[in-house]
Amino acid sequence: MAVERSVGVWVHPARPEALEAAAEFIRGISAHGIVCYLEPYRMEAIASLTPGIELRILGADTDVDLEMLTVFGGDGTILSAAAWAHPRGVPLLGVNLGHVGFLAELEAHETNSLVDQIVARDYQVEERLTLDVVVLDKIGTVMWRSFAINEMSLEKNARGHMIEASVRVDEDDLSAWSCDGVLVSTPTGSTAYAFSAGGPVIWPDVFAIELVPLLAHALFAKPMVLSPNSVIVLELTGEGQDGALVLCDGRREMAIEPDWKVRVTKHDTNLRLARLVKQPFTTRLVQKFELPTHSWRGGA
């Protein structure tokens, strides 16, 4: 007896073109006997575009062995889908309907072969480093925990004041900054917030952790690339501070108080991305940022 195949579908909540693209994908994949699971709040809209096709609910307690979770949207939609897929080890495959779309595998106009390749299992799965973020209070009690795909940021929560943050790496003091915040980024996040903050681009197959001070009032406040096995501890120091925010991927947040610590390490579970074609990261970087590959002097 053949084992039932199933894929998940995650759709941008406010883009009609994402709904249409997802519905077209579901019609195609269902014709090959593959069952589609869909998050409940998009079920009604998708069902109206796919009459007669069985759709199953993808919920927090759904226990199903999905081959992948196919995401129709931009990087923000992929990051929201990762909250479901990452702890379960389910590969993500993104169809970009956003702007830059660094995490996406395909642009919307490139989906003609998507169904055929999934049916034929003609894809590979790429592993990406992720972060484990733990917030500890003054006495070391764990107050909050989250994963991060792109980055963890410790940021001021009052516009008119900097925060005082000290940084330790592998139990050794590194520095203390008056700053707007501190980022701890993955290679995946090196083309996102960390890039905007002046950090280097790190190729995704380089397992490393990036540390980026944000607008620090200091002589030495340069981005640093650390070992993937580093233990990074950020502490909110100084009297009279208003506290700060810890944010993971700009989506999950926790307010912290003075003398609390944030411990960041490599997560035990990697992000898994499905890839349909073997495209060098250099090519992706050039395409996404529209980098000139020839001198404006015409090669002279």
Q: Quick count: other Cβ atoms within 10 Å of Cβ 154?
A: 26
- Check 65, 75, 137, 170 and give the catalytic one: 75
Nearest CA among 135, 181, 182 for reference residue 158: 181
C-alpha distance from residue 253 to each of 22, 145, 189 (Å): 30, 10, 17
Contact of 257 with 236, CB cutoff 8 Å = yes
Strand ranges for the chain from DSSP E = 6-11, 35-38, 55-57, 69-73, 92-96, 106-107, 124-128, 131-136, 142-148, 151-156, 163-169, 172-179, 181-185, 209-214, 224-226, 232-236, 244-248, 252-256, 261-266, 271-275
Q: Indicate the burial class of 114 (C-beta count within 10 angstroms; 0-12, 13-18, 19 or more).
A: buried
Would residue 122 show up in a list of annotated catalytic residues for this protein? Answer: no
Q: Which residues are catalytic?
A: 75
